[in-house]
Amino acid sequence: MNPYFIVDTDKSFEQASSDLQAAVAAQGFGVLTVLDLGDSLRSKGITFAENCRVFEVCNPRQAAKVLMNDMRLTMALPCRISIYTEAGQTRIGMIRPEGMLLNLSSEPELAEVAREVESSTTAIIQAAASHST
């Protein structure tokens, strides 16, 4: 299985960013922080033409289940959803949570949490990319 889940959208970068925030809330997640990597690179004098924002999102109940099983997984949290442009195309994507957590832990309870989180974050990305948001 592809470790990435990426959806192309015909929305602008700014519209997709705004719609992602609404989709995150609709799935019971919260946005912890937004890292604007494109602006950060440009502010350091680097010529970088693309846009890229990384949204760190979290569902507190799911995060608690993960951490109660294995505190080392703090290094895998929170979930990160990226909106970026590539050659004029706006894309929204993530590394699949299920695959990532299954590589880091063999706990059956964590596998179920990872499936639930992946289902929710996939829905977030699809909602942000669609025109019904």
CATH of the domain at 27: 3.30.310.70
- Residue 50, CA atoms < 13 Å, CB-side half-sphere: 13
- The pTM score is 0.93
Total domain count, the chain? 1
Distance CA 129, CA 99 (A): 22
pLDDT value for 108: 87
Strands of 79-86's sheet in order across: 4-9, 89-95, 79-86, 52-58, 30-36
The per-residue pLDDT for range 37-71, each reduced to its tens digit, is 999 999 999 999 999 999 999 999 999 999 999 99
> Rg of the chain's alpha carbons, rounded to an integer?
15
Which of 41-45, 105-109, 120-124 shows the lowest per-residue confidence on average (mean pLDDT)?
A: 105-109
The per-residue pLDDT for range 7-27, each reduced to its tens digit, is 999 999 999 999 999 999 999
Domain range for 102 is 4-129
